[in-house]
Amino acid sequence: MVKREILERKLLQMEKSLAKVKSYRPLSYEEFVNHPVARDVVEYNLFIIINCMIDIVNHIVADDGLGEVDSLAEGFRILADYGYWTKSQLAVYTKMVAFRNMIAHQYTDISADVVYDALQHKLEDIATFKRQIMNKL
């Protein structure tokens, strides 16, 4: 059985990090790339948010005995099979995990364009994830 307090704690952390990210949304692209800490704050907090999402998913999969998680994105695939989200939403979450991996392991330098696009256009994906989880609790 899923421990609701664990999920609520992770969701609260996501909210805190999301608030920090959103505080940089009013910046123009030029302001964003020239700001001394904006990019770092946004990248780091998106990293935290995605880690929380991964933790939530893996917690649900493990506690409900839904399968074995062999990669960071695997839990999202498993929950898609159980109707938590659509295949198109799964693709979004899988891309988020790939973005997280790029930040964590610095596989490539992430362009400011990608980070700014996430800031301006991808935060709703996080809100959608939270709603989907809350609807299943």
* C-alpha dist (Å) from residue 12 to 6, 48, 94, 130: 10, 12, 22, 10
* C-alpha dist (Å) from residue 47 to 2, 18, 63, 67, 121: 24, 11, 24, 25, 16
Catalytic residue list contains 100: yes
Condensed to tens digits (0 to 9), the pLDDT of residues 66-123 reads 999 999 999 999 999 999 999 999 999 999 999 999 998 876 678 899 999 999 999 9
pLDDT value, residue 108 = 63
The length of the chain in residues reads: 137
Percent of the chain with pLDDT over 90: 85
Give φ, ψ of 70 to 5 degrees: -105, -10
Say if CB 80 and CB 86 are below 8 A apart: yes
For the question of whether the overall pTM of this predicted structure is more than 0.85, the answer is: yes
Q: Which domains does the chain have, with CATH numbers?
A: 4-136 (1.20.120.580)
- Give me the catalytic one of 9, 35, 77, 100: 100
Encode 102-131: b = buried (16+ Cβ within 10 Å), e = exposed. Answer: bbeeeeeeeebeebbebbeeebebbeebbe
- Give me the catalytic one of 25, 59, 77, 105: 105
Provide the token pair at 21.
């990210």
pLDDT value, residue 101 = 92
pLDDT value, residue 3 = 83
Catalytic residue list contains 59: no
